[in-house]
């Protein structure tokens, strides 16, 4: 079956909501495990002075009269003190979110989003959204997706969207955030489905902190999610059928005035990069780099670089890993270099950056390669944002990539040492 990937732009506006977190050293009832139930530090009596400092000074660990010295810049200590307010009381009383989305207009599957409960800190229920997919055509649509077509189990940093089943999540009173309380299978295996003409499939999802993740110090003002749906063309399953991949992305954006005033990069019209190579000169394999599309913000195509390796010797060179040697799947600052022929990606109009759709096909398996005398191999790579990462407030001015390259001893195919370094940077001009 033939497959072609459609590069889809995605993110505009509808309406939605999100959530906050802090660290996981709490018990299920929301109290700190290092503190007594009444909120006092175990090392100090609630009414008496500490043994070290005298009665008129502030204890650096805890005090009933003032904030700690550990976090005095913007807020008082995270542990509640006798007369002060803790973080949840100060900053986490109420915070609502809207949804921003812009599904691709040429997709046969129609997406709709609705925020049912927009408050991320509500103790009554988690932030809740409904994701719906429908078939507006007069033909049955057959589709497949890695994960879920209605965004179930998609993640952003410490947060995840899960089905609204009450026994799978709990509320942390101290952090004022909901968290996943039951282990779920969210490995993202491929699933297939059908949508009959005019059929609609909806799923109610809640935003919670992922299990085994710490609560964040700061609740994100924007949470970004993405999924990919592959639609069959033809529907017979024959060799002449093809598949189109559509990327859907949406964000939960805080409606608070102070969050909307957060400053990001100036308008991202254009920013070019060039290559700075640092590959080992002792390596028998010669590396060359060429930037063929230098603009990281271009809506036409991602920043593109071609990596070439050649054998200038008169002996066959056996090396490992043949993919990393050409720069494939190398990462820097949550960006990754991928082959445009084997991966799907889309352009985010609002952030003016390209991002990977779904999982990137990386593996820990190391593959052997061979280069005959005077042979050259080249690989075109595009720089995109990893699909599970949010967009940065500031785009890095330099991306650094490196890997180790092993070369077999002469007359042998056995590689005993990865003694050569393949390294290069993409630097803003």
pLDDT digit string (tens) for 234-277? 544 445 556 787 777 888 999 876 665 555 455 577 899 999 99
pLDDT band for position 301 (cuts 50, 70, 90): very high
When pLDDT is averaged across residues 300-328 and rounded to a whole number, the result is 92
Q: What pTM was computed for the model?
A: 0.53
Percent of the chain with pLDDT over 70: 66
So what's the pLDDT on residue 384? 94
Q: SS in 3 state form for the chain? A: CEEEECCCCCCCCCCCCCCCCCCCCECCCCCECCECCCCCECCCCCCCCCCCCCCCCCCCCCCCCCCCCCCCCCCCCCCCCCCCCCHHHHHCCCCEEEEEECCCCCCCCEEEEEEEECECCCCCCCCEEEEEEECCCCCCEEEEEECCCCCCCCEECCEEEEECCHHHEEEECCCCEEEECCCCCCCCCEEEEEECCCCEEEEEEEEEECCCCCCCCCCCCEEEEEEEEEEEECCCCCCCCEEEEEEEEEEEEECCHHHHCCCCCCCCCCCEEEEEECCCCCCCCEEEEEEEECECCCCCCCEEEEEEEECCCCCCEEEECCCHHHCCCCEECCEEEECCCCCCEEEECCCCEEEECCCCCCCCCCCEEEECCCCEEEEEEEEEECCCCCCCCCCCCEEEEEEEEEECCCCCCCCCCCCEEEEEEEEEC
Residue 394 pLDDT level (bands cut at 50, 70, 90) = confident
Task: Render pLDDT for 344-353 as a digit per residue (tens, 0 to 9).
Answer: 888 887 788 9
Mean pLDDT value across the chain: 75
For position 407, what pLDDT does the model report?
87
Domains of the chain: 2-22+94-260 (2.60.40), 273-428 (2.60.40)
């Amino acid at each position: 079956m033939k497959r072609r990937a459609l590069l889809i732009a995605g993110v505009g506006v509808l309406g939605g909501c999100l959530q906050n977190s802090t660290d996981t050293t709490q018990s299920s009832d929301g109290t700190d495990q290092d503190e007594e139930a009444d909120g006092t530090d175990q090392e100090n009596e609630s009414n008496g002075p500490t043994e070290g400092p005298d009665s008129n000074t502030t204890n650096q660990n805890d005090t009933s009269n003032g904030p700690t010295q550990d976090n005095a810049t913007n807020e008082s200590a995270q542990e509640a003190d006798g007369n002060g307010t803790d973080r949840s009381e100060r900053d986490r009383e109420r915070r609502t979110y809207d949804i921003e989305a812009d599904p691709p207009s040429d997709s046969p599957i129609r997406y709709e989003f609705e925020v049912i409960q927009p408050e991320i800190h509500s103790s009554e229920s988690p932030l809740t959204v409904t994701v719906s997919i429908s078939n507006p055509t007069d033909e049955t649509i057959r589709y497949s997706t890695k994960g879920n077509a209605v965004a179930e189990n998609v993640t952003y940093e410490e947060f995840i969207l899960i089905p609204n089943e009450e026994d799978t999540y709990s509320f942390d009173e101290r952090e004022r955030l909901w968290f996943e309380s039951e282990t779920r299978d969210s490995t993202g295996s491929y699933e297939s489905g059908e949508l009959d003409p005019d059929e609609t499939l909806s799923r109610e999802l809640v935003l919670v902190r992922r299990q085994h993740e710490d609560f964040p110090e700061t609740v994100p003002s924007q949470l970004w999610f993405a999924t990919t749906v592959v639609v069959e063309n033809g529907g017979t399953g024959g060799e002449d059928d093809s598949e189109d991949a559509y990327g859907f992305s949406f964000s939960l954006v805080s409606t608070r005035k102070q969050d909307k005033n957060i400053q990001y990069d100036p308008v991202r019209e254009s920013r070019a990069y060039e290559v700075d190579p640092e590959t080992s000169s002792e390596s028998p394999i010669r590396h060359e780099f060429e930037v063929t599309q230098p603009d990281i913000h271009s809506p036409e195509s991602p920043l593109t670089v071609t990596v070439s390796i050649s054998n200038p010797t008169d002996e066959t060179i056996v090396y490992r890993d043949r993919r990393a040697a050409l720069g494939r799947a190398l990462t820097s600052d949550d960006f990754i270099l991928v082959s445009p022929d084997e991966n799907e990606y889309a352009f985010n109009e609002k952030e003016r950056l390209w991002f990977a759709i779904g999982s990137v096909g990386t593996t820990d398996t190391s593959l052997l390669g061979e280069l005959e005398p005077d042979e050259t191999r080249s690989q075109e790579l595009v720089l995109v944002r990893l699909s599970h990462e949010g967009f940065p407030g500031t785009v890095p001015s330099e991306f650094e990539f490196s890997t180790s390259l092993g070369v077999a001893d002469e007359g042998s195919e056995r590689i005993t040492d990865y003694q050569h370094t393949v390294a290069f940077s993409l630097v803003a001009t």
